[in-house]
């Protein structure tokens, strides 16, 4: 397949690019290269004959349509999004522009391209919109799990913008017939994760002997999904998903934030002990909770397992150790980001147009 991936220089997007290129698909990666876009995450495939990078904005409908036509695209995987909740609280307008308007522009361009395809390719075409479990809102600690039919109840500007984009994608299917599929994932972790997120921030701070901040009392619960498992799931949804349907993707690994931070401390203490032999758990500090902080997310993955045959392969303990080891061995990737204080420094190179 010839696949256009938006946001392919980000954390999840780069994992999807690497996975599909290794599978032999033709991948065109469209990324604006904002602060979280890092071409060095794609160094392993940047010279592959079936991969090409295009720097551009998903809000640029003319550019998107040109790529779709020139590259003869069979499927779109739309991952480009502003994704950090704290940033959405400080500046929500950027999230509306990228996550909502950008998705609408993508849909408009995809619909034009789709209508121009011959009948057999029109039937096979897919627009896969990748979203989040945060659109469903807050779960009680003993309140079951999110299913694909759970009503939307977003709590933050970020999750509200993703919920809006989900609705627009469904509307394009119902109104215009565009063959869309959607997926809503739980929290991802793994290599190449941007340093401001919980797991990489804790790993890096722990390595440097700095304080390990935890919101509130650390009792908020998330379901953790190893990013490479997620990439495989997204490929299955793109290739086999039924148009108009959505699929929840989770890791079956619920942990409180405090449990995650403590597990990272223990792993670091084993792999790279502090000079004085003290436990990194002593570095944990509790900070004021952020506004609208949902208590718990948990997704029911029965649908994707029963219909597409996917389930997570990576146990959380194994995935976390692999992630910690990766950060220990790849400081050349994260140190420049850390030192630039996320000022938009972008590393690496790729084939551009």
Residue 19 bears catalytic tag: no
Check if the beta carbon of residue 78 is closer than 8 Å to that of residue 130. yes
Q: For the chain, what are the domain ranges?
A: 2-189+225-251+298-313
| pLDDT confidence of residue 24 | 98
Q: With a cut of 50, which residues of the chain have pLDDT below it?
A: 342-353
Residue 348's pLDDT is what? 33
Give pTM, 2 decimals: 0.93
* Catalytic residue, candidates 19, 51, 158, 327: 158
Is 331 a residue of the active site?
A: no
Structure tokens at 288: 């004021």
pLDDT of residue 294: 87
Residue 188's nearest CA partner among 146, 230, 218 is 230
- Is 158 annotated as catalytic? yes
Q: Which of 179, 184, 174 is nearest to 135 (CA)?
A: 184
Q: Among 26, 134, 223, 229, which one carries the catalytic annotation? A: 134
In the prediction, which pLDDT does 284 show? 98
**3-class SS of residue 80:** coil
The two three-digit tokens of residue 123, written as one number? 């039937």
CATH number assigned to the domain covering 2-189+225-251+298-313: 3.40.50.720
CA quadruple 53, 56, 58, 63: dihedral, nearest 10: -90
pLDDT in tens, 205-240: 999 999 999 999 999 999 999 999 999 999 999 999
pLDDT of residue 340: 65
Please give the sequence-ordered ranges of beta strands (E in DSSP) within 208-339, or none if there are none.
212-215, 221-226, 246-249, 254-256, 284-287
């Amino acid at each position: 397949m010839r696949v256009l991936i938006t946001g392919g220089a980000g954390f999840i997007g780069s994992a999807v690019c690497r996975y599909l290129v290794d599978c032999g698909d033709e991948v065109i990666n469209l990324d604006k290269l904002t602060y979280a876009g890092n071409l060095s995450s794609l160094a392993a495939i940047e010279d592959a004959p079936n991969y090409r990078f295009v720097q551009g904005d998903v809000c640029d409908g003319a550019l998107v349509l040109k790529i779709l036509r020139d590259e003869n695209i069979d499927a779109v995987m739309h991952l480009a999004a502003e994704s950090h909740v704290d940033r959405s609280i400080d500046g929500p307008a950027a999230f509306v522009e990228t996550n909502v308007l950008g998705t609408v522009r993508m849909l408009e361009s995809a619909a034009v391209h789709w209508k121009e395809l011959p009948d057999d390719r029109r039937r096979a075409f897919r627009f896969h919109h990748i979203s989040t479990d945060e659109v469903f809102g807050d779960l009680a600690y003993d309140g079951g799990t999110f299913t694909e039919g759970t009503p939307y109840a977003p709590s933050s500007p970020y999750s509200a913008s993703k919920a809006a984009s989900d609705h627009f994608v469904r509307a394009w299917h119902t109104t215009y017939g565009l063959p869309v599929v959607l997926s809503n994932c739980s929290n991802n972790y793994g290599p190449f994760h941007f340093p401001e997120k919980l797991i990489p921030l804790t790993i890096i701070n722990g390595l440097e002997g700095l304080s390990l901040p935890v919101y509130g009392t650390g009792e908020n619960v998330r379901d953790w999904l190893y990013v490479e498992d997620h990439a495989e799931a997204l490929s299955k949804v793109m290739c086999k998903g039924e148009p108009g349907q959505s699929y929840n993707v989770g890791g079956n690994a619920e942990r409180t934030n405090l449990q995650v931070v403590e597990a990272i401390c223990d792993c670091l203490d084993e792999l790279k002990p502090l000079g004085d032999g003290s436990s990194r758990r002593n570095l944990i500090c509790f900070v004021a909770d952020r506004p609208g902080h949902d208590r718990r997310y948990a997704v029911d993955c029965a649908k994707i397992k029963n219909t597409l045959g996917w389930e997570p392969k990576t146990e959380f303990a194994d995935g976390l150790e692999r992630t910690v080891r990766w950060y220990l061995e790849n400081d050349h990737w994260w140190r420049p980001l850390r030192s630039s204080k996320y000022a938009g420094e972008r590393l690496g190179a790729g084939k551009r147009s």
